Chains A and B, each alone.
Chain A
């Protein structure tokens, strides 16, 4: 009996009765995955940058004939691809008389940093939701008595020329495997534990 107990005691010290499961250490997630940065930084001033020089819109457009061309003919702005539903003309939103201003549907001009006033002309219901705070993101305070609510504007998420919200890379998926247990180690010598 004494011998049995002694052997048992030694077995505990040597620790032959299995081992703790190994933790799978997951890589630290990049900060970009929880950034509060809006989807895009819109141009709030009518300034055009090309080859390191910046121009006011009217630097060119006061000289150039205000043309009523369709999207495929824009040669000076190769980065602008117009995919905005049925709107095929620049002058649907940009004032033909003053390219530093935008336009609403009645022909009144709208400041560049007030672009939502152009948007609302066609997107009434969504504008109503946005005004109520249920379309588009808010930041900072829900309780306006404690601090200001910052409400993102249309162009902070939507590119007015291609308003569809951009596809994005998803953040890392959850890791199903947190441990490699002793039994699993015994049963499968090489088990792939996917961890991103």
Chain B
């Protein structure tokens, strides 16, 4: 019964030392063994058969693509052209994919007036539309929480409210998105430096470098990061053709994404999409290094606070009330 029993006791020294290879095999045994090997291989191939459904197979060029920071400008240009081509193939849209660098002397800060926010969620959908986010499965960077008046306990808030009209008398609304922290725990977590903070304060992700381990998602105290659990699905007519490498180009399956303060707009001097759609003007954005900017005014003249200050993340997103 035991595997060692059979011939252990009678090691026949008369055999060649490489007796294994010379063991006589009967025809029947041979057939038997081939059958096992054959069907085993068949089972292996069959087990891997779902791979035939794999669309968008990885090219060698994509496989060896370097980290964003290590690409030369020619290499980056080639990558940008490739992304444009892929967008054209998949969505039939002529997109322009740019690489926009941070501006000197600029550090972005966002401020949000909780007295004004009426919970209309226009920012949420403006963001989705601007940033080519997947619609099904749904990915949204901004979460608007309806909070009962009289508490700041997030557990009592909900994103799932849908009254006839907003605001409701017993509630206030708290939009949350990536706060572009000065001490981001997410970039610390990333094992491959696929996410980092740029000099204008925006924490970006190289979607072509991310390995999809989701450690950053666990490390974020603000639940700001989203993972592409499936291939993103965007209606063709809703593609925003003005794209950039580090922000709103369509993301592949299996990588993490998040709010980037619309860097393809803001680095060209424009306001972010969520702000432009806010019906109440609750959102204020600008350069904190400019003492005359709107955000500087808010920090100087309003009583501001940040979420979870105790986490030590130093968010660049300030809330305030003005009545």
Tell me the A residues contacting B by CB distance below 8 Å.
1-3, 5-6, 8-10, 12-13, 15, 23-26, 28-29, 33-36, 38-39, 129, 132-143, 145-147, 152, 157, 165, 167-176, 178-179, 196
Chain A interface main SS type: loop
Do A167 and B125 touch across chains, with their CB atoms under 8 A apart?
no
Size of interface on B: residues with Cβ below 8 Å to A: 70
Does chain A have a CB within 8 A of B49? Answer: yes
Asked if A170 contacts B36 (CB within 8 A), the reply is: no
Main secondary structure of the interface of B (DSSP, over half): mixed
Inter-subunit contact B279/A8 (CB<8 Å): no
> Which of these, A138, A140, A178, contacts B229 with CB under 8 Å?
A178
B208 at the interface (CB under 8 A from A): no
Q: Are B47 and A12 in contact (CB under 8 A)?
A: yes
Contact B271 A142 (CB under 8 A): yes
Q: Are A179 and B277 in contact (CB under 8 A)?
A: no
Q: Does B150 sit within 8 A of A, measured CB to CB?
A: no
Q: Are A170 and B119 in contact (CB under 8 A)?
A: yes
Q: Whole-angstrom distance between the alpha carbons of A87 and B129 in the complex? A: 42
B43 x A133 contact (CB < 8 A): no
Within 8 Å by CB of B49, from A12, A38, A134, A178, lies: A12
Give the residues in chain B near A137, CB-CB below 8 Å: 275-276, 278-281, 283
Minimum CB–CB distance from A27 to chain B (whole Å) comes to 9
Whether A174 and B138, one on each chain, are in contact in the complex, defined by CB atoms closer than 8 angstroms, is yes
Q: Which residue of A lies closest to B296 (CB)?
A: A132
Fill in one digit per residue for B123-153: 1 if any A CB lies within 8 Å of its CB, else 0: 0111011000001111010010000000000
Are B165 and A167 within 8 A (Cβ)? yes
Whether A169 pairs with B281 at a CB distance below 8 angstroms is no
Tell me whether B230 is interfacial, beta carbon within 8 Å: yes
Least Cβ–Cβ distance between B52 and chain A, in angstroms: 11
